[in-house]
A and B are shown apart, each in its own frame.
Chain A
Amino acid sequence: MVVYKLQTPISEADIRKLKVNDMLYITGTMVTARDQAHQRALEYFRQGKPLPINLEGLAVFHCGPVMSKQGDKWVAVAAGPTTSTRMDIFEDEFVKNFKVRVVIGKGGMGKRTTDAMAKYGAVYGAFTGGAAILAAKAIKSVLRVEWFDLGMPEAMWIFEVEEFGPLTVAIDSHENNLFTDVAKNVEANKQRIYQKLGISQ
């Protein structure tokens, strides 16, 4: 296991150094996007409309934060990851079209995303589910919010972060997927558990 500290924009060469199980901390610009922001971004792309921010080399965070407006400034109160599998239907196109280098969330992602990450050079960083204050404390400022009409959780929040992590590299750009490895192990363990509990199949 190697610990990496990367600054955005991250190059494809740098991201390809990372391997599954490595630890990653990110400093720089990060945007949040859940189901609806992914959908809208891809719609914009199809229509040839530019996104509110160029995402190349940045990190996208599957997160619906609790934000609070203090005066005319937004502050992140709590900002942990949401379940990433919901974004599996969008992420391959997202990585391909916008060249984000790090996708952050919880719960892992599937083969479509893993293949796209290998092809275009990106990793999936698992952030501890529910660790919302740990995340919020790494958000140094809220640059702005886009697509606020989608509601607070679904809007695209643009953050400046410092040493955001720890992220466990759970999908690297070499077709390795830690969640798939764990699933195989679990499947093998299932037989031992059945045996112990006297379950015949």
Chain B
Amino acid sequence: MKLEKAKIVENVAFNIIKQAVIYIPDDVKQALKKAYAEETSETGKTQLNAILNNIELAEKHKAPVCQDTGTIIFYIKAGTQAKNLEKVEGALINATRRATKEVPLRPNAVDPFAQRNSGDNTGRFIPFVNWEIVLGDSIELTVMTKGGGSENVCVTGMLVPGQGITGLKKFVVDTVINAGAKPCPPTIIGVAIGGGADISMKLAKKTLLKPLNEPNPDSEIAKLEKEILEAANMTGIGPMGLGGKTTVLGVHVDYAFRHPASFPASVAFNCWASRRASARINADETVEYLTRKMEM
């Protein structure tokens, strides 16, 4: 039996939402294990141990790793030759509704005026869909289910161009310190500068999809990522803000060129429960799961 294209997109989107909320990616798990081995604070170690136990339990019981299953955000790479693109958004909404019921997910979409929860994780602009057009005939779907605690401390600042990268470093360190325990540390941090207020945040948030073991290919930027990581881990905030040397698991930096008068900078946080998953639907309708193999 041949499924129609919209149904395939819906099924794949459902599967990656389910993968994302249950299974923490391997690179994050490895980073947490390393942090546990190296943490010297007793309280910090207890927290990391609870996190690792929880990840294992979630996998075993196929249950969402955190009760805040987040806001559903999709990143789509649409091939210029891909067909039925007009059906993709509808399929993503259907997948979100199904996942809310069947995984299940916590209903997290609230009408800000009526203060009413829609109950199915959908509403105006939610799930949000970021589109990118690429060469080819496949469609690549990525989902990020973004927790509220880490979202609440994301910040965009308009820095002074004359203070340059040193000003940026201060901005990031201050932001990490102000965030404290709130984003469920150890966190993953995305930093981006340039473009404009909206562009820098969009880039910062998108870097949270990158695996931790992939530093920026530009060696100067990779050096900055490492420097910010070390600085953040000198704060002493520690796991869950209870003290310790593991505050941040990784830092990703991206940039756009800036206006001569502007130095927009954004810091996006992800909690340790970094939830992301991708899959590619080829033109012949075969599907490749890119973050984790699909269990049949």
Chain A residues proximal to chain B, CB less than 8 Å: 1, 21, 23, 63-66, 68, 77-80, 82-83, 85, 106-108, 126, 128-137, 151-153, 166, 168, 170, 178-179, 181-183, 185-186, 189-190, 192-194, 196-199
Contact = CB atoms under 8 A, between A and B. Distances in A.
B154 to A, nearest CB: 14
B243 A182 contact: yes
A151 B107 contact: yes
A77 B104 CA distance: 8
Q: Which of A1, A65, A132 has the most CB atoms of chain B within a 10 A radius of its CB?
A: A132
Given A78-B67, A126-B240, A132-B68, 12 more contacts: A64-B106, A77-B64, A106-B181, A108-B241, A128-B54, A132-B63, A132-B66, A133-B61, A133-B65, A151-B107, A186-B180, A196-B231
For chain B, what secondary structure do more than half of its interface residues adopt (helix, strand, loop), or is it mixed? loop
Given A64-B68, A170-B242, A193-B235, A129 B149 contact: yes
A137 B272 CA distance: 20
15 contacts: A64-B68, A82-B149, A130-B273, A131-B54, A132-B54, A132-B64, A133-B54, A168-B242, A178-B243, A181-B243, A182-B180, A185-B236, A185-B243, A193-B173, A197-B173
B51 interface: yes
B241 A197 contact: no
Contact of A78 (B46, B63, B107, B147): B63
By Cβ-Cβ distance, the 10 closest A-B pairs, closest first, are: A129-B184, A78-B67, A128-B50, A131-B54, A130-B66, A133-B57, A132-B67, A107-B181, A130-B273, A134-B54
Contact of B173 (A21, A182, A190): A190
A109 to B, nearest CB: 11
Interface string B260-282: 00000000000111000000000
Interface string B32-70: 000000000011001100110110011001011111110
A107 B169 contact: no
Contacts of A63: 67
B67 A166 contact: no
B236 A80 contact: no
B50 to A, nearest CB: 4
Contacts of A199: 166, 169-170, 173
B93 interface: no
A190 to B, nearest CB: 6
B129 to A, nearest CB: 24
Interface residues of B, number: 51
B130 interface: no
B80 interface: no
A76 B242 CA distance: 27
A197 to B, nearest CB: 5
Given A178-B243, A199-B166, A130 B231 contact: no
A173 B181 CA distance: 21
Interface in B150-198: 152, 166, 169-170, 173, 177, 180-182, 184
B47 A128 contact: yes
B8 interface: no
A66 B108 CA distance: 11
A59 B201 CA distance: 39
A1 B105 CA distance: 37
B181 A130 contact: no
B271 to A, nearest CB: 6
Contacts of A80: 66-68
Contacts of B180: 107, 179, 182-183, 186
Contacts of A64: 67-68, 106
Contact of B231 (A107, A129, A131, A193): A193
A190 B235 contact: yes
Nearest to B105: A66
Given A1-B42, A151-B107, A133 B58 contact: yes
Given A83-B182, A134-B53, A197 B63 contact: no
Contacts of A170: 242
B240 A128 contact: yes
A156 B64 CA distance: 21
| Most interface-central of B65, B239, B240 (chain A CB within 10 A) | B240
A194 B177 CA distance: 12
